[in-house]
Amino acid sequence: MTSTATRAGSPGPGHAVGHAAPGIPPAPRRDSRSGLAGLLDLPANAYRQIVRSAARTPGRLSLIAVGLVALALLTALAGGLAVQDRKDTINGLIDHREPLAAAAQEVYRSLSDADATAASAFLSTGAEPPELRERYELDLAKAGAALAKAASDSAGVPEAAEQVDVISQRLPVYTGLVETARANNRQGFPVGASYLREASELMRATILPAAHDLYRVDTERLSAEQDDASGFPWLVTILSLALLGALLYTQVYLRRKTNRLFNVGLGVATVAVGVAILWSAVAMTVQSVLVDDGAEDGTEQVDVLVRARIAALQARADETLTLVARGGGAEYEQEFARLAEELTGPDGRGGLLGEAGERAAGSALAEPVEDAAESAAAWLAAHSEVRERDETGDHAEAVALAIDVQDPASAAAAFSRLDASLAEAIAVGRQGFLDDTTNGSRALTLLAPGFAVLAVVAALGATMGIRERLREYR
């Protein structure tokens, strides 16, 4: 007869292994969440882990290290991109935006000069002077080339594209009217003067206003990009100062916790950030000043000179058209008086030339602007004599005084000197813009990679400095 002994603590018959004994409640089971619910729990779990870790000094130091590294790398990225973007903007000003604004200026100037030259050629007795014909054709060629260049950048600017279309469509009509006027004039038909006046009216009422608007749009875009190139880098400044403040605060915190006066890694990081801030502050200040100088002494000065030159060209066309009209050109003379006042002011010492003279004081522009003012005074004096002779019936002498370039006392010679002086001043102003803006770009040389490298050095220094303190807790 056999018996089965049951070991104390072992489950008796009828009890499966692993089941709770009678009267003992089963242990609670922890359900694991999975799928989307688990993903949604991840941020909360991560936050709880961070809070638990921050409750102890080693965990708190680890979090500080991660924060410093993240801030340093973000500063490196933002600073490098900001500096490179500014350098690209400046290079775009030099290589693209200013040449396009100059092209718009050339369209405006060449068309104004073509109108004045056509009127001067019409006054010539006998065969048309070849030099005037060549100048007229050269003006049209320059205007066409400059218009094509300006049109290349007008696709995304509806207002500019509209002006380009107006000029492109109406300029062939203008040249056709001028050729008809020339053909009739060669045959001695008085109707040639009517065609010339119609052509000039088309130029003044439609084509030149479109050229002016195109020039204005391109000049405004140039000024806007100059403002962008000299603006204050708020984001980079805030990030850099935040990083510097975080490093200093961390060193104070460690000194209180560990009684260590100096941390090599954090000291290196602080010095790197300080050098980056100082370097970028000096470089960007110099760059901003130079770009502003290029705008004030170059772009803005050139704008005044261009407007003065165009006013002179339009007044010159009025001067000759008054003679073409043979007593019926009172409206042209009134327009001449208005433009002359715009050019030199009511007293002959102000206007656009007076403004240009004040801006140019003490600069390389002073001499050509002064020459332009003197030539303008001589031209207006010669014009008064032209009008006096024409009004007293000496039309032939008036025409000769108006268009004879060989006579130094003629209106034509004085106007030629004025136009040449303004052209020289514009060239000097454009060169001043180029020099200042180029030097501004050079001030940023190596700043983008240098700033990024220094910020990365700060990240490494912060990592090494806090790592040394963490080792003390092991």
Contact 143, 100 (CB under 8 A): no
Residue with token string 């100048």: 135
pLDDT of 20: 43
Measured from the Cβ of residue 288, the count of other Cβ atoms closer than 10 Å reads 18
Q: So what's the pLDDT on residue 57? A: 63
Residue 31 DSSP symbol: P
Q: What pLDDT sits at residue 53? A: 52
- Other beta carbons within 10 Å of 150: 27
- Structure letter (DSSP) for residue 325: T
Pick from 240, 138, 128: nearest CA to 186: 128
3-state secondary structure of 40: helix
**C-alpha span between 382 and 359 (Å, rounded):** 28
- With a CB cutoff of 8 Å and minimum separation 6, the contacts of 229 are 86, 89, 90, 93, 287, 288, 291, 440
The rounded distance, in Å, linking the Cα atoms of 315 and 104 is 20
- Take residue 71 and report the two structure tokens written for it: 């801030």
In the numeric block, the tokens 């073409």 are attached to 324
Could you list the pLDDT tens digit for every one of the 474 residues in the chain?
A: 334 444 444 444 444 444 444 444 454 444 445 555 555 555 655 545 555 555 566 667 778 888 889 999 999 999 989 999 999 999 999 988 889 999 999 999 999 999 988 888 888 766 678 888 899 999 999 999 999 998 888 777 888 899 999 999 999 999 999 999 888 888 888 888 889 889 989 998 999 999 999 999 999 989 998 888 888 889 999 999 999 999 998 888 888 877 667 788 889 999 999 999 999 999 999 999 999 988 888 888 999 999 999 999 999 989 988 888 887 778 889 999 999 999 998 887 889 999 999 988 888 889 999 999 999 999 999 999 999 998 888 888 888 888 888 888 889 899 999 999 999 999 999 999 999 999 999 999 999 999 999 999 999 998 888 887 777 665
Tell me if 401 sits within 8 A of 365, measured CB to CB. Answer: no
